[in-house]
Amino acid sequence: MLWWTLLTVLLTVSSGVVAVKPGFKARITEHALEYANHQAIDALAAMVPKASIPDQSGSSGDVDYTLSNIRITGFNKPSSSIKIVPGTGLKWSAANAGVSLHADWRVKYKKGWFKVSTSGSVDVSANGIGFSVTMALGDDSSGRPAISSAGCSCSVGGVDIHIHGDIAFIVNLFKHEIEKRVRSMIPGKLCDVVNQQINANAENQLKKLKVMTPLANKKFMLDYRLVSAPAFQSAYMETFHKGEITWTANPQTPPFSPPAIPPYAPSSNMLYLWVEKYVPQSFLYAAQQNGYLRYNLTTKDLPPNNRGFLNTTCSGWSQCIGHLLPAVGKKYPNTTVELQMLSTSLPAVNMSPGKLEASFAGEIALYANTPSVKKPYLLTLSVSAIFNMSAGIVDQLVKGNISGSSFKVAVKESAVGPLSSKVMNTMVGLAMKLFIIPEINKQGEKGFPLPVTGDIKFLNTQLHILQDALMIGTDLQYTIKF
Ligand SMILES: *[C@@H]1O[C@H](CO)[C@@H](O)[C@H](O)[C@H]1NC(C)=O
Ligand SMILES: *[C@@H]1O[C@H](CO)[C@@H](O)[C@H](O)[C@H]1NC(C)=O
Ligand SMILES: *[C@@H]1O[C@H](CO)[C@@H](O)[C@H](O)[C@H]1NC(C)=O
Ligand SMILES: *[C@@H]1O[C@H](CO)[C@@H](O)[C@H](O)[C@H]1NC(C)=O
Ligand SMILES: *[C@@H]1O[C@H](CO)[C@@H](O)[C@H](O)[C@H]1NC(C)=O
């Protein structure tokens, strides 16, 4: 033990800065980016016509002009993609968008003594519009992923102008001016809308990510904050999160750290999430350290038609303490016993391919509920139990369920004489069946949250149990309102 501690200390010191290992990892594949691209372009197509364009005025040679009431009357969606720039971030690019505008114009023409002012309207269509925007991903001060535009460029192909008005020569002088204006106006306007999409809409989505989630009446805190910058590979990007549960009133990092996440190649789904064994194990550590894994089981905790289990006097029913422990029934009749249960060591979670298990070791002490101030002590049992669990994803929550259990019982101490191990097994079996298993399943049914926003729904979801991790592969559906 000592040399092990020393070795650990030496290794820690010699390796210098110890990076925090993630307990949770998310992989966002190119399929998700493709989907996000469609969503973003649809949003853009909805936003562009609403963009307000201020009046434009200027002069050119002998012409003073004003364009007013500029409205975007149409937007042809571009072909576009969001691609990963390996090592850097994401790039959103689009080509062949088209936009049409309608505006009113007024010009004043003055040459020597000749002055004329006239007005009309104009329809402009611009095509071959493309943009390219680099998105930087990082983490904000609260440990959430953050996204921002790191530069947008836009080009315009052809511009087609139809002026409605009377004086032909003025109109012709003016046409070139409008084209120049439109060519210079579109990139700024489009980049504004694109940047807004990223800096406001996308960033707001990320802001909704719950990176600190209280659990179990706020007794515990689930920490999904980023532990390092996102990584960009060619077919996917990955984010690395703490994935740790601590006791809210006394947050402590457990004395163990997450093992390496097992490699997993497929990337046919949009999103992959790895919940390492570390996550439930840190929960159990916090629970064990802070006395959460104790419970005094009394009659009121039992299902209504099995309320008699803890009775010391039994009315003909065999699954009853008074019957199982006649000595107790004789000494303390017409009352009930209380089972004071506690976990005596850190429970373990085991994950290996296809298998999920939790094991507990604890004690159950029995006391009689007599009117006396001090409840008479009866006996103490040492119990170890293994629960086989099944896990699944329902409504973006990881839910767990006990699929089988086994336990061992030994008598640690008795104040009521010798006890039969068969009877003790029956008694603990009843406590398991009537309370412990339903209680764990009740918690498992409440589920465990994943760091996704409420706007996202999972589709085609599967959960795999790997070595030391659960892996969830899923497609996504957003229901974002623009
Ligand atoms: C159970 O009862 C004992 C004795 O009354 C008490 O000390 C202990 O705090 C109780 N445990 C819980 C979890 O309520
Ligand atoms: C248990 O005791 C209660 C009263 O304390 C009684 O109403 C009930 O019938 C008893 N159940 C059994 C199974 O003996
Ligand atoms: C237990 O309760 C029953 C009915 O209430 C009563 O007849 C009996 O005398 C009681 N036994 C003792 C030992 O108090
Ligand atoms: C839990 O297990 C029970 C029976 O073993 C089953 O009926 C139920 O559907 C399971 N629930 C989940 C969420 O797996
Ligand atoms: C738990 O699962 C293992 C295999 O993973 C199996 O051998 C064992 O019988 C199961 N126990 C129970 C109680 O279902």
Angle of CA points 335, 410, 414, to nearest 5°: 45
User: What pLDDT shows up at residue 5?
Assistant: 30
Q: Which ligand is nearest to the CA of 404?
A: 5
User: What pLDDT shows up at residue 218?
Assistant: 96
CA 95 to chain centre: 33
Per CATH, the homologous superfamily of domain 243-469 is Bactericidal permeability-increasing protein; domain 2 (3.15.20.10)
The crossing angle, in degrees rounded to 10, of helices 30-47 and 168-196 is 140
- Does the pLDDT value for residue 196 go beyond 50? yes
- Does the pLDDT value for residue 43 go beyond 60? yes
The closest residue, in CA terms, to atom 6 on ligand 2 is: 308
Angle of CA points 405, 407, 412, to nearest 5°: 160
The rounded Å distance from CA 430 to ligand 5 centre is 20
User: What pLDDT shows up at residue 88?
Assistant: 77
User: What pLDDT shows up at residue 63?
Assistant: 84
294 lines ligand 1 (CB under 6 A): yes
- Does the pLDDT value for residue 178 go beyond 90? no
- Does the pLDDT value for residue 28 go beyond 80? yes
pTM value is 0.88
Task: Please spell the DSSP secondary structure of 362-412, one letter per residue.
Answer: EEEEEEE--SSSSPPEEEEEEEEEEEEEEEEEETTEEEEEEEEEEEEEEEE
406 lines ligand 5 (CB under 6 A): yes
222: tokens are: 């689930």
Q: Which has the higher per-residue pLDDT, 4 or 350? A: 350
- Does the pLDDT value for residue 283 go beyond 70? yes
Percentage of the chain lying above the pLDDT 90 cut: 70
The closest residue, in CA terms, to atom 6 on ligand 5 is: 388
443 lines ligand 4 (CB under 6 A): no
**pLDDT tens across 408-459, in order?**
999 999 999 999 999 999 999 999 999 999 999 999 999 999 998 888 899 9
399 lines ligand 4 (CB under 6 A): yes
User: pLDDT-based confidence at 217, cuts 50/70/90?
Assistant: very high
Q: Which ligand is nearest to the CA of 438?
A: 4
482 lines ligand 2 (CB under 6 A): no
User: What pLDDT shows up at residue 425?
Assistant: 96
User: pLDDT-based confidence at 480, cuts 50/70/90?
Assistant: low
CATH of 44-206 among 3.40.50.720, 3.15.10.10, 3.40.718.10, 3.40.50.1370: 3.15.10.10
User: What pLDDT shows up at residue 1?
Assistant: 31
Task: Please spell the DSSP secondary structure of 108-154, one letter per residue.
Answer: EEEETTEEEEEEEEEEEEEEEEEEEEEEEEEE-TTS-EEEEEEEEEE
The closest residue, in CA terms, to atom 4 on ligand 3 is: 334
Nearest atom in ligand 1 to 291's CA: 13
User: What pLDDT shows up at residue 41?
Assistant: 92
Q: Which ligand is nearest to the CA of 304?
A: 2
User: What pLDDT shows up at residue 481?
Assistant: 55
The closest residue, in CA terms, to atom 2 on ligand 5 is: 388
- Does the pLDDT value for residue 461 go beyond 50? yes
**pLDDT tens across 233-248, in order?**
888 999 999 999 999 9
Least confident of 85-94, 238-247, 270-279, 428-437: 85-94
- Does the pLDDT value for residue 6 go beyond 80? no
The closest residue, in CA terms, to atom 14 on ligand 2 is: 314
The rounded Å distance from CA 382 to ligand 2 centre is 28
Q: Which ligand is nearest to the CA of 441?
A: 4
Instruction: Outline which parts of the chain fall under CATH 3.15.20.10.
Output: 243-469
Instruction: Outline which parts of the chain fall under CATH 3.15.10.10.
Output: 44-206
